[in-house]
Amino acid sequence: MDMEMQRFKAEFFKALAHPLRIRILEILAEGDKSVNEIQQLVETEGSTVSQQLTVLRAKNIVTGIKEGNRVIYSLRDPLIIELLDVAKKIFNNHLAETITMLDRLKDADKAE
């Protein structure tokens, strides 16, 4: 059972392993959107956005509901928003550590 969960997690994170998919999720965190709305916000071709949405749908990360002649996308689980927030905090922590290290190196160079 543990190996199944590890595979699930690996596949889940693979689906997130693209900057445009992350951007799409950030946009959907603000509310449901159509492909055209997402396309305008990311300033990318509709076909590219559709390809990335297909990946996210295949991994059950987003859902699409047909309304007339368009599909409205939403996050399947609102916990995705928390996951992205935690990832941002981790990035910021690493960035802060790097800045601190660079400051120390500058100080050491000045002392020499």
Contacts of 67 (CB under 8 A, 6+ apart): none
1-76 is classed CATH 3.40.50.510: no
Distance of alpha carbon 106 from alpha carbon 85, whole angstroms: 31
pLDDT at position 85 is 93
User: What confidence tens digit (pLDDT) does each residue in 39-48 have?
Assistant: 999 998 879 9
pTM of the model: 0.80
Please list the residues that pair with 67 across neighbouring strands.
Answer: 70
pLDDT for 1: 67
What is the identity of the amino acid at 36? N
Q: What is the DSSP letter of 59?
A: T
Domain ranges of the chain: 1-76, 78-112
Tell me, what amino acid is at 40?
Answer: Q
DSSP β-bridge partners for residue 34: 72
Give the pLDDT confidence of 50-103 residue by residue, as tens digits. 999 999 999 999 999 999 999 999 999 999 999 999 999 998 888 888 888 888
